[in-house]
Amino acid sequence: MADPLLTIEKLRTYFYGESGVARAVDGVTFSVGAGETVGLVGESGSGKSVTALSVLRLVRPPGRLEPGSRIVFEGRDLATLGERELRTVRGARIAMVFQEPMTALNPVFTVGEQIAEVVRIHAKASRHDAWQRAVEMLHVVGMPSPAERAKEYPHQLSGGMRQRVVIAMALVMNPALVIADEPTTALDVTIQAQILELLQELQRRFGMSILLITHDLGVVAETVSRVLVMYGGEIVEEAPVKTLFAEAHHPYTEGLLAAMPRLGESRERLRTIPGTVPPPTRWPNGCRFHDRCPYAWERCTSEHPPLYQIGDGHVSRCHLAEEPARRNQPHDPFIMRETSAGGGRDGVRGARENTAERSARS
Amino acid sequence: MPSPTHVSEPADRLATSVVAPSTAPVVSAPARRARLTGTFWWSLALIGLLCLVAVFATQLAPYPPNAQLDIVALKSQPPSAAHPLGTDQYSRDLLSRMLFGARISLSVAMLAVLLSATVGTAYGLVAGYVGGRVDAVMMRLLDACLAIPRVLLLVAVLALWSPVPLPALILVIGLTGWFEVSRLVRAEVLSVTQREYIVAARALGASGPRIIWRHVLPNVLNPVIVAAALGVGNIIILEAGLSYLGIGARAPTASWGSIFFDGSDAFQATWWIALFPGLAIIVTVLAFNVFASALRDALDPHQLAGDRAR
């Protein structure tokens, strides 16, 4: 890529809690080109949402961006930008679309007022002009009879309609980058497709870049050109979307793909990845995925893998890159051996702490 | 930005394809309004009537409230056609004193509540929104204030500052009544700031003060309104008690509490002097309490959801 719009380097976001330092995002580096759509994929707790919040420095204490993190956007480093200048970026140059259209809108104002508010924050517009802009924007996102709908409150709209309003709020200032954090997770499947189609349509018209955060590989396959897979606060694999689906390298990505339900393929049960993401206060030594990995060997428990170059634009954080033969010898992951050896209680505690950690962050 | 007036085909197609789901049942404004019960309306009407009486006391009262009409002939007269509520031991017309007393009792209560609700809301908003150490210090300070017995504090202050001017009385009552409100507001703020629309507002570039004013305040106001309605009733009683102790409204000024105090010495002989202000206090406090609970029902979103499920 010649000149990326957003370049994130060694992004680290740590949360300082009573149970220790949670390294939710731990050295993430990637870039988003102008007009590009990049997918950021991972399980709950992998650090993808915290990454999204970190880009706009929306992480609140006890979480903070560690020194050395760089977020270069349109020539400025957002990691060190003052709060005042940062506010001119938020909502105007970079906008976010959130997961829950139910709670992402303020219940006491009409949707028109909420879109108009964004205009009035960033542009010197009169109340009337801002309202006109809001109505136009509702039209753009495909809201039927926008002038009337603008006067309604969020609770009067359906989930899909609300998400259209959230998208209208994000796009009203014509940002260069839209970060969409699980924009379709809370919606019905049919509405999901409409919202994704809308995002793509708007991208074609306005040319903004999209960073799409999701746990749904199906969404990724249809929408993005490049995929970043996150696990344990790190990027574990990055590849063009076609490459990722055809020849995923990292065992975690492999697991995610295997866990996807496929049409026309009858299976007794859906495959899953054993265990859960470990708590960010205690990432395992070596490869952070080793206890859940079917190929892990001694090296994986001690040596933290770097991002190996696999192919053109394809990198993977897995030692298999150097010892590909080991892929032919899958075994039960360590986490399952521990469980059968009476380590069950430990596993349960780990899972519970992980849940607590996540709820503390959300 | 390209002019959004010419909308492309797909957006239109999308628009029409989602018309059907939008007709799903939702809570509409009329449904909300329907929740305002008869109780709400009659208590509101009663409060409105009392306020009107207080405002137009000068026009309604047959005599000046402090005029001693005939200290010999009209001393302690029971209710009659000329004096519907009778006269007191100084031959003052009780009805006139009651009407002017409403003015004092209601204005003291309402202004004091306004003051304590404002101060309490501001304090709770700041503590809850800023959080961290600021919140911890502010809350410990509040704990200390809550540990002071309010009535004793009021008695001490007012006994030392006697006779107390009315604005000072309002100030003293108001500034000792906001502690509970700010606890309530802080708790609400903590829950509201967890909602995604607060993060969304920050993500869209809203400043801290704007978020507090536009997004947090309107969403924490409901419990404050209910608490304020209850508070008016409480303060009417408190003010009556202080007047009864002789440290509330200044001597010739009529408040319901001070009239009651005038009549309490000789209740058996001149029962009407204490009875009517007593009744007025009961009815008014009852009206405010009923109003507060009807308001709580109307404003509570959980109750709303319960109603829909029924």
Nearest-CA neighbor of A45 among A346, A358, A311? Answer: A358
User: B52 and chain A: CB distance < 8 Å anywhere?
Assistant: no
Amino acid identity of residue A87, one-letter, is R
Q: Which of A83, A155, A172, A195 should we substitute to test contact with B (largest number of B Cβ atoms within 10 Å)?
A: A155
Q: How many CB atoms lie within 10 A of CB A79?
A: 21
Phi, psi (deg, nearest 5) at residue B178? -95, -5
Backbone φ/ψ region at B7: left (φ over 0), alpha (ψ -120 to 50), beta: beta
B265 vs A66, residue with greater confidence: A66
Closest alpha carbon within chain A to B26 = A156
- For A108, the token pair is 């006491």
pLDDT on residue A154: 87
CA distance A146 to A134: 9
Mean pLDDT score, A84-91: 89
Nearest-CA neighbor of A255 among A179, A333, A154, A354? Answer: A333
pLDDT on residue A342: 43
Distances (CA, A) of A95 to A35, A87, A123, A178, B110: 14, 11, 15, 5, 45
Using 50, 70 and 90 to split pLDDT, how confident is the model at A183?
confident
Give the angle A89-A91-A92 at the CA atoms, nearest 5°.
60
Burial class of residue A347 in the structure, from the number of CB atoms within 10 Å of its CB (0-12 exposed, 13-18 middle, 19+ buried): middle
- For B295, the token pair is 């308001």
Cis link prior to A62 (omega < 30° from 0)? Answer: yes
- For A335, the token pair is 């986490």
Checking if the pLDDT of A335 tops 80, the result is no
User: B166 and chain A: CB distance < 8 Å anywhere?
Assistant: no
Q: Which of A64, A108, A196 should we substitute to test contact with B (largest number of B Cβ atoms within 10 Å)?
A: A108
Amino acid identity of residue B211, one-letter, is I
Q: Tell me what the pLDDT averaged over chain B comes to.
A: 80
Return the sign of the alpha-carbon dihedral for residues A338, A341, A344, A350. negative
pLDDT on residue A297: 86
Quick check: B200 and A109 in contact, CB under 8 A? no
Checking if the pLDDT of B271 tops 50, the result is yes
**Minimum distance, in Å, between the CA of residue A270 and any CA atom of chain B:** 31
Return the sign of the alpha-carbon dihedral for residues B96, B97, B100, B102. negative
Q: Which of A51, A53, A87, A149 should we substitute to test contact with B (largest number of B Cβ atoms within 10 Å)?
A: A87
Q: How many CB atoms lie within 10 A of CB A218?
A: 14
B219/A201 Cβ within 8 A: no
Cα Rg of chain B, angstroms: 26
CA distance A268 to A261: 11
Using 50, 70 and 90 to split pLDDT, how confident is the model at B45?
very high
**Minimum distance, in Å, between the CA of residue B192 and any CA atom of chain A:** 10
Checking if the pLDDT of A356 tops 60, the result is no
**Minimum distance, in Å, between the CA of residue A359 and any CA atom of chain B:** 11
Return the sign of the alpha-carbon dihedral for residues B179, B184, B187, B189. negative
Checking if the pLDDT of B26 tops 50, the result is no
CA distance A225 to A239: 9
In chain A, which ranges are E strands? Answer: 6-17, 20-32, 37-41, 63-65, 70-73, 76-77, 94-97, 177-181, 209-214, 226-231, 234-240, 308-311, 314-316
User: B15 and chain A: CB distance < 8 Å anywhere?
Assistant: yes
pLDDT on residue A338: 55
- Residue length of chain B: 310
CA distance A181 to A49: 7
Quick check: A41 and A230 in contact, CB under 8 A? yes
Checking if the pLDDT of B8 tops 50, the result is no
Checking if the pLDDT of B86 tops 50, the result is yes
Mean pLDDT score, A311-339: 81
Residue with tokens 């704007």: B210
B29 vs A65, residue with greater confidence: A65
CA A360 to chain centre: 18
pLDDT on residue B93: 87
Using 50, 70 and 90 to split pLDDT, how confident is the model at B116?
very high
Closest alpha carbon within chain A to B220 = A108
CA B73 to chain centre: 42
pLDDT digits (tens, 9 = 90+) for B47-78: 999 999 989 988 888 888 887 877 777 787 88
Using 50, 70 and 90 to split pLDDT, how confident is the model at A263?
low
What is the pTM assigned to this prediction?
A: 0.74
pLDDT digits (tens, 9 = 90+) for B125-162: 999 988 888 999 999 999 998 888 888 888 888 888 77
CA distance A115 to A121: 10
pLDDT on residue A351: 44
pLDDT on residue B120: 94
Mean pLDDT score, A206-228: 88
A139/B206 Cβ within 8 A: no
Mean pLDDT score, A76-102: 86
CA distance A237 to A309: 10
Q: Which of A11-25, A343-357, B125-139, B206-220 has the lowest mean pLDDT?
A: A343-357
Quick check: B90 and B71 in contact, CB under 8 A? yes
Q: Which of A172-176, A309-313, B163-167 has the lowest mean pLDDT?
A: B163-167
User: B199 and chain A: CB distance < 8 Å anywhere?
Assistant: yes
Using 50, 70 and 90 to split pLDDT, how confident is the model at B11?
very low
CA distance B111 to B169: 10
pLDDT on residue A2: 52
